[in-house]
Amino acid sequence: MGARAHWAGALLAVVLLAGAATGCTASERTPDRAESSTATPTTAQPSPTDRSPHGVLLSAQLVLHDARRAGYTAVLGGQGAQGELFWAPKTVLKYQADSESRVLMVLDTSAYLGGDPESAARLGGPHWQKFSNGRIPYGDLIDRLSPVVAVAAAAAADDPQLVGEEELLDGTAQHYRVTVTAARYVAAQTQLDPARRQALEAALGPGDVVLDLWLDDSDRLVRLRRAAAEVDTVDYDEFGSSALSVQAPAEADVAPGTDASPPAFP
């Protein structure tokens, strides 16, 4: 009972801090040093005495809270992409699809799209177009890529299963599997506002969601595979690295957006 209460308290702290992070104001560059964060990472190492599948997934949540960022390589519904994702203290995304020369950057409530010669020709000189309507744009894409969203759903599941140890990339990882309904997947996302949760449930589709997660020996999520309406696979690296940084384009290279809401992408 003591261990269960300890982890319930730790999980509540993660949820509260994640919710606080989504309420920050806009920024034109990502934090690349700890001093720019509004949240203080935990000092204790996530080394639970409970190494059941549920206990390990709770530990993975604490690891993500402290890391705040990662690089990724993804295949979303058959479309390859790569970039960087920050989930705290503010939402930041850099995304480039393998088949696209354009780049998408999201910095809190602003999105920048372009960065390629074709965009410069279309915009009459500037390489980037900015969109901002007071909300975090491209939330559907961010939620598909976010390790926080996937691990929250897995940790809230009734019966996560350890599939076993497997060779993965340059090492070994523990493979866990969870099957939940789309409604249960979304209900675990208390850090998201109702509109984001509704959009996420619609994207997942009416059937079950099968989550496969591979964790390294530090309980870091190194691969996610989510099978729902579409199948997404995301590999993560550089957790917490200060080398990860996404900065807004120079103001002189940005044209104003044509609409308050950004266009569909990718």
How high is the mean pLDDT of the chain? 85
* Distance between CA atoms of residues 220 and 224, nearest Å: 11
Phi and psi at 172, nearest 5°, equal -115, 155
Does 16 or 134 have the greater pLDDT score?
134
Model pLDDT, residue 225:
98
pLDDT tens track for 55-64? 999 999 999 9
Residue 259, CA distances (Å) to 5, 150, 264 in order: 49, 32, 12
pLDDT tens track for 4-46? 444 444 444 444 344 444 443 334 454 443 333 333 444 444 4
% of the chain surpassing 90 pLDDT: 74
pTM exceeds 0.85 for this model: no
Q: Mean pLDDT throughout 51-80?
A: 96
**HSE of 200, CA atoms in CB hemisphere, 13 A:** 29
Model pLDDT, residue 1:
45
Paired residues of 247 in beta bridges: 29
pLDDT tens track for 151-166? 999 999 999 999 999 9
DSSP 117-177: HHHHHHHTS-SEEEEE-SS-TTHHHHHHH-HHHHHHHHHTSS--EEEEEEEETTEEEEEEE
**HSE of 151, CA atoms in CB hemisphere, 13 A:** 29
* Distance between CA atoms of residues 221 and 61, nearest Å: 9
Helix 53-67 and helix 147-155, axial crossing angle in degrees, nearest 10:
150
**Sequence-ordered list of residues with C-beta below 8 angstroms from that of 52, at least 6 positions apart, any chain:** none
Beta carbons of 140 and 111 less than 8 angstroms apart: no
SS (H, E, C) 4-44: HHHHHHHHHHHHHHHHHHCCCCCCCECCCCHHHCCCCCCCC
Q: Mean pLDDT throughout 244-254?
A: 96
